Structure 1
Amino acid sequence: MGNRYKRVIKKGEIIAAARRCFAKHGFARTTVEDIARVVGIKAGSLYHYYDSKETIFREVIIGEGKEMLGWLKGEVTKEKTAKKKVLRYIRARLEHFRSMTNLLDVSIQVVVEVAPLVDKLYREYLDQEVSFLAGIINSGIKDGSFLPCNGLRIASAILTMSESVKYKAFRMADTLSASEVDYSAVDKEVSYITELILAGVAND
């Protein structure tokens, strides 16, 4: 087994351990020493693989993002019409985000602070989401559910709106914990505006 392969395996072990630690203690209370202890190495050795807890957290988010996209696509298949698929997708992605913040016990401050670390990754995932959502809208155009329109622009508008509503809720929250944000209110507002957007292109 080559050194490069061993390094990949060890990094995977560190990320798996970090995810367990974040789930048990939360991001703020988890230390590099905690993660190293679970892996079975010294904290100093862990720094040969990752330079900070924030970098490890970023890798956890990358893994979550990949899982999220696969899960969301599976959720969409449960619906039959294009409109219901779009609404299911938007509500499911918010539910996934809520579940992730609960799991990692992430504070709103951490969500804001870690944003620059994952900004490029976030844009890449969002591009993939826009493309997938546009595909659903375009299928609705083909089957006559929607009027001819620019599916990419509609998808981009819906996702941009969803993110804006979510982060507005963060900024206005009376709590410091992202898991305590009123996601039911966010869900209602996002669903309502999404339905308004889709009503504008509905072929009634």
Structure 2
Amino acid sequence: MTNKKDLKRENIITAAGRVFGKHGFREARMENIAEEADMGKSSLYYYFISKEELFEAVVEREAENLKNEIILATKDIIDPYKRMKKYVIARMNAFNESINLYTAVKTNYLDHLPFIEKVRSKYDKEEMKMVESILKDGVRNNRFKLVNTELATVAIVTAIKGLEYNIVIREGPYKLEQQVEQLLMFLFYGIVKRH
């Protein structure tokens, strides 16, 4: 019985993701989600007591999927520079496809929802952890020379976030790899001319 209930819950989250992605949190209605999930509205409330709770489940799933996609894309890459490049590309692509997570992390109109700050904080910590791990591997393998990996992590994550809109949304995915390469060259080699 629990298995069937879990499966139904997952189907509802999938349907809700499509509805929230299409209409946004404000405009999405539980009726739309119930219809998309091919069930009655009252049945939907058996699984989720509110639209907020359902949106939280959708955002958490997208965040977990994002993390898994990034791990999968980078796990077999040994060279830390190449792994960082692959990390940034995978992150930009996956984040762009996670419309509900993007909305939760980037927009202010959802700030009134109690779980939003928790999601943002968890996402930020995960991202910092992944980037710092790559940097520490680079230092350990004598590929990177860093005095303070924590500060470098903050700088890289901030740069990535600052360029999200420009690279992914405005420029489009076709320029992503080229833009990421330029960003990493700047971050890793700086702007000082070497003799």
What TM-score bracket applies, with the shorter chain setting the length? 0.7 to 0.9
The offset of 1:48, in angstroms, is 4.7
TM (norm. structure 1) is 0.70
Residue 32 of structure 1 contacts residue 43 of structure 1 at CA under 8 Å; is this kept in 2?
A: yes
Alignment of 1:12-27 (within 5 A): 12-22=10-20, 25-27=22-24
Long gaps (5+) in structure 2: none
CA distance in 2, matches of 1:181, 1:26: 21
Once residues 180 and 49 of structure 2 are traced to their aligned partners in structure 1, the CA distance between those partners, rounded to angstroms, is 38
Q: How far off its partner does 1:43 sit?
A: 1.9
Paired position in structure 2 for 1:50: 48
Structure 2 counterpart of 1:182, one-letter code:
E
Structure 2 residue 174 is matched with structure 1 residue 182: no
Specify the alignment match of 1:161 in structure 2: 159
Q: CA RMSD in A?
A: 3.6
- What number of residue pairs does the alignment pair up? 185
1:95 maps onto 2:85 in alignment:
no
Aligned 8 A contact 1:137 1:146 in 2 = yes
Supply the distance in 2 between the matched residues of 1:195 and 1:50 (Cα, whole angstroms). Answer: 47
1:37-186 matches, cutoff 5 A: 37-101=35-99, 111-114=107-110, 117=113, 118-167=116-165, 169=166, 181-184=170-173
Which secondary structure does the structure 2 equivalent of 1:94 belong to?
helix
CA distance in 1 between partners of 2:112 and 2:158 (Å): 18
Cα displacement string for residues 29-63 of structure 1 (whole angstroms, at most 9, x for unaligned residues): 65321221244443244345435445423321210
DSSP-derived class of the 1:113 partner? coil
Residue aligned with 1:114, SS: coil
> In 2, are the aligned partners of 1:54 and 1:114 still within 8 Å (CA)?
no
Residues 15 and 36, structure 2, Cα contact 8 Å, conserved in 1:
yes
Provide, for residues 107-159 of structure 1, a one-character-per-residue CA deviation record: whole Å limited to 9, x for no partner.
89x94433664232121122122112211111111111111422232122211
Query: Which piece of structure 1 moves more, 38-47 or 75-84?
Result: 38-47
Which consecutive unaligned segments of at least 5 residues does structure 1 have? 171-178
